[in-house]
Amino acid sequence: MYKVMLAVRVVQRGEVIRGYYHNLELPFVPAEGMRFEQGISTTMWETVSGQQIDPQVERVVYDLDERVIVCLFTVDAPLAASFWQNAAEVNPGQVCGVLRYFRHMPIPR
């Protein structure tokens, strides 16, 4: 089994407004382009406005210090599912916690 973190950044108007994460163990190493699904009543990719989105893994990073595989996703609206843990709140230009994994990825405009 592989330790995996799914990390999500929410980008609106060119700014990261929040982040989410979920830790799990998988019997395989995820790949870029892969999609994850979970949930029946509220899916993991349901936004607070009720929209269903279907993001794919943008980048896979292995954190040597934490010994965890990190799958990075970008979405354009906050997520509603209790599946996710909230990452630390951020101010514009601040990079910390889970969101540090996105530091080398451009922010979509």
pLDDT tens across the length of the chain (109 residues) = 999 999 999 999 999 899 999 999 999 999 999 999 987 777 899 999 999 999 999 999 999 999 999 999 999 999 999 999 998 765 555 556 888 899 889 988 7
Tokens 């989105």 locate to 53
Q: How far, rounded to the nearest angstrom, does the alpha carbon of residue 44 sit from its chain's CA centroid?
A: 11
- Contact, 15 vs 92, CB < 8 A? yes
Q: Are 54 and 44 in contact (CB under 8 A)?
A: no
Q: What is the pTM of this model?
A: 0.90
Distances (CA, A) of 66 to 5, 28, 37: 11, 18, 25
Q: What is the pLDDT of residue 96?
A: 60
With the C-alpha atoms ordered 93, 64, 72, 106, is the resulting torsion angle positive or negative? positive
In the chain, where the domains are located: 2-102
